[in-house]
Amino acid sequence: MKTMSHAARAAVPVIAIHGGAGTLMRSHISPAQESAYHAALQDVLRASQAVLAGGGTALDAVCVAVQALEDCPLFNAGHGAVFTADATHELDAAVMDGATLAAGAVAGVARVRNPVLAAREVLRDGRHVLMIGAGAERLAQAAGLAMVQPGYFSTEARLAQLRAAQGGGAGAVLDHDGAAALAARAQEGPLDEGRKMGTVGAVALDAQGHLAAATSTGGMTNKRPGRVGDSPLIGAGTYADDRTAAVSCTGHGESFIRVAAAHDVCARMAYGGQALQEASDAVVHQALAAIGGTGGLIAVDRLGNVCLPFNTEGMYRGLARVGQAPESFIYR
């Protein structure tokens, strides 16, 4: 996908979001279902755009965006997260401030309503970057964040995906493959939900020229409990540096970890002199492709350019510049 360029001197704040990449088959989607996803993406974009329009920071904007995506059951993050092999939920999230390189992340949490806010609390606390499980939950609770019972994250559709994966002997599968067994018995759900990779994320540039990124996920359907993907790993699924870009990834986490995808975009810009589009395309279409990695990423650079590449059939995505109408996309 072509980079969406913007004049550097104008420095118009911009937010970009994603809600997962994968094989999104048009034949399985009704106009009403497609409209529902566009409406959800547009609502998130407007809310985070308003933060930037009011002078809010990039970090504020990405957290507002990802929190809203976590609250929407259409996406695999927060409410609507997929199940582990033990029929439990383990959620991961990360945030990074490009102005200071401060970062915070949580992994394997099951009682924090919005994992992205717990990740931000880790950043604010400042003593650590990544916290897991019960320790991360205690930090979140002490900070006054909303806590829930693990059942809050569950939906019938996600449970059906787990049972289908287990019944078919599929092992751990990405969100875009999670309903493969269901597909053999019945038509897929809205936007072929079982065939998309479930991660949400946001990147932003604010009026002060600062960048930030945030990512959140429920992981893989039927994954082994304790598995952690790229989303909460700074440099793999999430990265931001005011000198280059902010990046949030979605896809096969193990592959993104192996190529340090988010940081690689920034490194190609910093050390190789590549522009945002060149660097992003190289990571998605070359580095990941070389090891069979599938998915995509969203990125914004310090000049306000936005790039949204993916190597799958589609990716839920969108962007909104302050003063302009939000744009959302699903297919190429």
8 Å CB contact between 193 and 39: no
What does the alpha-carbon distance between residue 163 and residue 143 come to, in Å, rounded to a whole number? Answer: 36
> CB neighbours (10 Å) of residue 139?
22
User: Residue 331's closest CA among 66, 74, 23?
Assistant: 23
What are the CA-CA distances from residue 194 to residues 36, 102, 152, 180, 262 (Å)? 17, 35, 20, 7, 25
φ/ψ of 213, rounded to 5, equals -140, 150
Q: Is 199 a catalytic residue?
A: yes
Amino acid identity at 232: P
The annotation places the binding site at: 227-230, 250-253
User: Residue 178's closest CA among 2, 6, 327, 20?
Assistant: 20
Catalytic residue from among 57, 199, 221, 244: 199
The annotation places the binding site for substrate at: 227-230, 250-253
8 Å CB contact between 305 and 208: no
Residues whose CB falls within 8 Å of the CB of residue 25, separated by 6 or more in sequence, listed in order: 188, 192, 195, 313
Residue 187, Cβ density class (10 Å: 0-12 exposed, 13-18 middle, ≥19 buried) = exposed
Interhelix angle 58-71/31-53, nearest 10 degrees:
150
- Strands 238-240 and 91-97 come out as unpaired
What does the alpha-carbon distance between residue 202 and residue 16 come to, in Å, rounded to a whole number? Answer: 6
Residues with a catalytic annotation lie at 199
